[in-house]
Amino acid sequence: MGFTLPTEVERRPVAVIGAGTLGRRIALMFATRGGVVRIYDKSGPAGEAAKTYVEQHVDEVAARVEGGGPGRGGRVEVTDDLAEALAGAWLTVEAVPERLDLKKSVFADLDAGAEPDAILASNSSSYPTSQFIDRVAHPERVVNMHFYMPPVQNAVDLMSDGRTDPAVLAFLKEELPRYGVFPFEAHKESTGFIFNRIWAAIKRESLEVVAEGVSTPQDVDRMWEINMGTPAGPFRMMDHVGLDVVLDIEEHYAAELPGLPAAPRELLRRYVDAGHLGVKTGRGFYADYPA
């Protein structure tokens, strides 16, 4: 079945479902060209924190986007009413936790409530959208659109659910760079998409080295910074993502590939069970984050 692509996207909102670490950063990028971005979250404090984050950074980031500039940033709205969030939106980006049953439920609701020409995208970092469209009536408009850590890491994976209209992928490849993010298509279904598959191997071996007692998170990171010339190493980056999210992703990889070593997940689980999730709790592999 074909899909009628959205029109007048410059005048229509983007809806982001989930106000967490990545949800608010995705909202920030779509606010860089003016207009309205709506963040939906059932948690009022999370929604307000996301709104504050976008408002604090949008003018600075908009100035770095081609065609943007000071004062060109858009407006962010927060709601706990899904129908309100979806009204008029040309694009909806799901950014909820990595739970398959939750994503199935969310996409059923999005498909039922979104505008007929709205594209429904998932920011899932490990699940292909083919796994949660069984209750979706229009899978031709569903696509993986996986962000990394904008506004610093601005590559985006695009991947079909197996039934996505090719015109949707072509449209997003043209449209997304206008918001300062740059799409790359995975040409076949791939758990972890493109870059994440490579990154997963790096962080898993980093965790294994620490779990075995060979080194420490701080030394691994410092060696990485020296050798790779980057400002942060794997453990600092995992703290920024959230160790609960990293563990969810690793559990998913392990379910698909039973031969993966268990020690990296056991190490992560000790931190998660202690409530040390990284930046969002003030402590993870490092303890120098503001509370």
Instruction: State the pTM of this model.
Output: 0.83
Q: Which CATH superfamily includes the segment(s) 9-185?
A: NAD(P)-binding Rossmann-like Domain (3.40.50.720)
User: Has domain 195-281 been given CATH number 3.20.20.210?
Assistant: no
Pairing state of beta strands 75-79 and 36-40? Answer: parallel
Strand order in the sheet with 182-185: 75-79, 36-40, 14-17, 91-94, 119-122, 142-149, 153-160, 182-185
Spell out the domain ranges in the chain: 9-185, 195-281
pLDDT score at 256: 86
Tell me the mean pLDDT per 10 residues along the chain, length 291: 88 97 96 93 96 94 78 88 98 94 97 98 93 95 96 96 97 96 96 90 97 98 96 96 92 90 98 97 95 71
